[in-house]
Amino acid sequence: MTDSERSYVSRFFSSQFSRLPYPTQDFTDAVVLVTGGNTGLGLEAARHFVRLQAATVILAVRDMQKGQKAKDSIEATTKIQGVVQVWPLDLESVQSVQDFTTKAAGLPRLDVVVANAGISTSEWTLIGGTERSILVNVISTFLLIVSLLPKLQETATQQHTRPRVVVVSSEGHETTEFVEQKADRIFDALKDKTQSNMDERYDTTKLIQLYLVRAVAEHLSLSNKPAVTINAVSPGLCKTGLLRETPLAARILISPIKAVLARSAEEGSRTLVHAAGPDNGETHGKYLRDCKMTEPAAAVRSEQGQATQEKLFKELLEELEEVCPGIRGNL
C-alpha cells in the first residue's frame, strides 16, 4: 500500500466515525429543490429542510408514486403540511430536464438546489450516444444547474440573499485513475467503450463533478452577475440504495463493511443540509466533508488538475450547447 493509499484509508475511517452536528440552520421562507428526494440522502435532507422552516421543498423524482410516498413520510414525521411538492425529473432524459427547468422558471424564488440524484453502475449503456452514468451524473446534472442559474440570480437580487447549489460528491474521487482524461477530447473518450474503465466510472463521474464545480465557481466569481454559491459535498459511506445496480457478489462483499462503518441516511444527509445552509461565499467552489471545508485530492489541486479542469469545463459547455443552444450565456 502506498503512502497516499494509507492516507486515504486513514482519513476514510476517521471520517466515518466523526460525529456530525444535527442541522439547526434557518431556512425560513426558502424554496429548496432536492433531486432524488424520494429516497436515501435526498429524502432525509428534504425532511430536515421542512423541519427547519423552508417555505417550499420540491422533491424532484423520476417515479412520482415514490415521490408521493416520500412526501407523505415527511409530512407524517414533521407534522408540517403544505410545504413539500413533488415534481417529475428524469436525468436520463435531456427533455425532462428542460421541461423541469422551464417549470422552475415560474417559481417565485429559488434559494437552494441540492443536486443529489445519481447512479452507480458498471454496466455499459448508451442513451442518445452518451454513456448512462455520464449522462445522469454529469451532463444532465450540470444542464439542470446551469439552466437554473438565472432563477437563482434573480432570487439573489430580489431577496438580497446568496442562493446555494450543492453537488453531492464522493471521497471516491480520490481513488479513480480517470484514464479518459488523457484523450484528445475527454467527453468523446467517455462515450467510447474501448477507452472507458467502467469499474471506476462512478468515482470518475464524482471526480468530474468536482472539477466542474470548481470551474463553474471560478467562472461565476469572475462574472458581474448576482452571487450564487456552488460547492461539492461528500456524505461519506451511507446506508442508501446507491449500490442497487452493483453486481450481487460485490454487494454481498461490501455488506459487512457497510453494517459496521456506514452512516445512516439521516446522518449522511446532515452533510447536505450543512452545505446548503446560509452562506456569504465561504464555501463557494469548496469541497466539504464531515460538515467542514477540506481539500480535495492532491491531483485535483495540481497543475495538471487545473489543466484537466479547464478542458472539462470547455467540453461541458460544448456538450450543453449541443442540447440547449445559448445556455453558456447563463454563466
Q: Please indicate whether residue 169 is annotated as part of the active site.
A: yes
Strands 84-88, 56-61: pairing is parallel
Distance from chain centroid for Cα 282: 18
Asked if 16 and 262 touch (Cβ cutoff 8 Å), the reply is yes
Count the helix, strand and coil residues of the chain and give each as a percent rounded to the nearest 5. 55, 15, 35
Write down the residue that cell numbers 485513475 correspond to.
177
Q: Please indicate whether residue 206 is annotated as part of the active site.
A: yes
Which listed residue (202, 234, 287, 311) is catalytic? 202
Which listed residue (15, 151, 170, 206) is catalytic? 206
**Cα separation of 110 and 249, whole Å?**
42
Q: What CA–CA distances, in Å, run from 119 to 60, 103, 122, 244?
A: 15, 24, 10, 9
**Cα separation of 101 and 148, whole Å?**
6
Which listed residue (147, 169, 234, 269) is catalytic? 169
Q: Please indicate whether residue 8 is annotated as part of the active site.
A: no
Taken in order 231, 54, 116, 99, the sign of the CA dihedral is negative
Q: What CA–CA distances, in Å, run from 103 to 96, 97, 98, 151, 325?
A: 11, 10, 9, 11, 19
- Tell which residue, 141, 144, 150, has the closest CA to residue 169: 141
Asked if 265 and 238 touch (Cβ cutoff 8 Å), the reply is yes
Strands 130-131, 164-168: pairing is unpaired
User: Which residues, including other chains, have CB under 8 Å from residue 160's CB and lie 6 or more apart?
Assistant: none
Catalytic residues: 169, 202, 206
